[in-house]
Amino acid sequence: MTTALLSVSDKTGIVDLARELHQLGISIISTGGTAAALAEAGVPVTKVSDVTGFPEIMDGRVKTLHPKIHGGLLGLLDNPDHVRQMDEHGIRSIDLAVVNLYPFEQTLARQGASHEELIENIDIGGPAMVRASAKNYKHTCIVVNPKHYATVVEHLTSGSIPVAFREQLAFEAFAHTARYDAMVSHYLGSRIPDRGFDAESSLPLKLESPLRYGENPHQQAALYGSFGSVFTQLHGKELSYNNILDIDGAAKLSLEFDEPTVCIIKHNNPCGVGSGSTLLEAWDKAFATDTVSPFGGIVCVNREVDLAFADQIHSIFTEVIIAPSYTAEALERLQKKRDRRLIRMDTAALQRELGMDVRTVAGGFLVQTSDTPLLDAEALKVATDREPSDAEHRAMMFAWKVAKHVKSNAIVYAMADRTLGIGAGQMSRVDSARIAVSKAKDAGLDLAGCAVASDAFFPFADGLLQAAEAGATCVIQPGGSVRDDEVIAAANEKGLAMIFTGMRHFRH
């Protein structure tokens, strides 16, 4: 190895690497800011413009796109024709390329960055050099991540860089440019109104952290993306795969409520939700729905956690507590349990991330827009002879907000400020209704005068009649069944008020 090309935006460790390469007798070619940093550090460096015989032009937009650079990166040194052509055209082999790209991601994350600034931070020459080197990894070793600098030096000091390691670096290089291009594509796509679903798409994902295991201990798992920009862990053991799913579900449920609200989640299903003038009042209502399931569950609130609330829940074993903030006294109290995870959520960041849902299936992905709307005001209508009272309407809205986040088939009994019974994830809607009633009875809660919400329409009148028998006086459901007339007739006969939303909230 005789020649290295160093061209980096992230200059972490680059001077130390260059010094090591120089001591190993490797000549260094560099560009713009990297060349200036090396020269300032006293490392001998040759500018790319001196290699190409052509100056950097157009504010640096064009500097490395030249045969004397790409020929050096792409030449097959075991191919006599390539070597002959390199000699004929004065092309010097480049044996090591250390390249990372313009800071498009950092610019995109910065508040107030203009479109023009973002465009100027789209790297062209960098990805071209990375891809060229990665294609020719047997002859040109490509490094895009500073974490590999020390290993590269170790290999060079001992003699050469193994082909297997070169291939690993080439894989990382193509993944690096693929993610970079995906970020640019997503940004430009975000500026196109009503563009629908793209004919070609990629996900610009970066490993955030490996996880101990997945849903079960025999499954490997990792977290990709920017979860940490929305949720910050303040205390406790590392988050598990299931914790992360529950945190996401609980936080999204909390967004439905403006008043102080406590959401208790177990196995990614609400098991109790309450609202009140304070979190303490809201907690009493949420916990009363189901006094068993909250143990080992997830608690999410939409107000700052103070010492009074911390004292209330401290004695209960909870896996995770999520809140927009905590007082110092509350943190001190809650941190007394070593394993309890305490999470601070950035509500504004969470709302910004409600864009697309992506799920894997065999051979592909299912993509859909997030289920963010609660109601379609134009489709909302009273389907029965009797109009709901104001109190009933408030109860129906509360039940509907919770039902939106319960696994289908979902049935929720509620008053205007609390859940009373929740039936989730059953194959039959009647079974979900039966479970919801049973849980309310087990909790000693009276369903008389409550509202019931169903995430999808009642296909038969039996589910609605069951709700009436349990004590519900009003029903909210999407409507749309071929037997709607039968269900409406049954509701009228029982004196129920019923609203059709025209919008369902299945959660498979």
Report the distance separating Cα 403 and Cα 392, nearest Å: 16
- Is 267 annotated as catalytic? yes
Per-residue buried b or exposed e for 218-239, using 16+ beta carbons within 10 Å of the residue's own CB: eeeeebeeebeebbebebbeeb
Q: What are the start-end ranges of the E strands in 267-346?
A: 269-275, 297-301, 318-323, 341-345
Which of the residues 11, 135, 155, 186 is marked catalytic? 135
Question: What pairing do the DSSP bridges indicate for beta strands 46-47 and 318-323?
Answer: unpaired
DSSP for 245-287?
HHHHHHHHHHTT-SS-EEEEEETTEEEEEEE-SSHHHHHHHHH
Q: Which amino acid is at 305?
A: V
Report the distance separating Cα 392 and Cα 395, nearest Å: 5
Question: What pairing do the DSSP bridges indicate for beta strands 451-454 and 474-477?
Answer: parallel
Phi and psi (nearest 5°) for 201? -150, 160
Residue 141: how many CB atoms within 10 A of its CB?
28
* Angle subtended by helix axes 461-470 and 429-442, to nearest 10: 10
Question: What pairing do the DSSP bridges indicate for beta strands 356-361 and 341-345?
Answer: unpaired
Contact 395, 250 (CB under 8 A): no
State the virtual CA torsion across 429, 434, 439, 440 in degrees, nearest 10. Answer: 100
Report the distance separating Cα 271 and Cα 293, nearest Å: 7
- Is 135 annotated as catalytic? yes
Q: Which residues are catalytic?
A: 135, 267
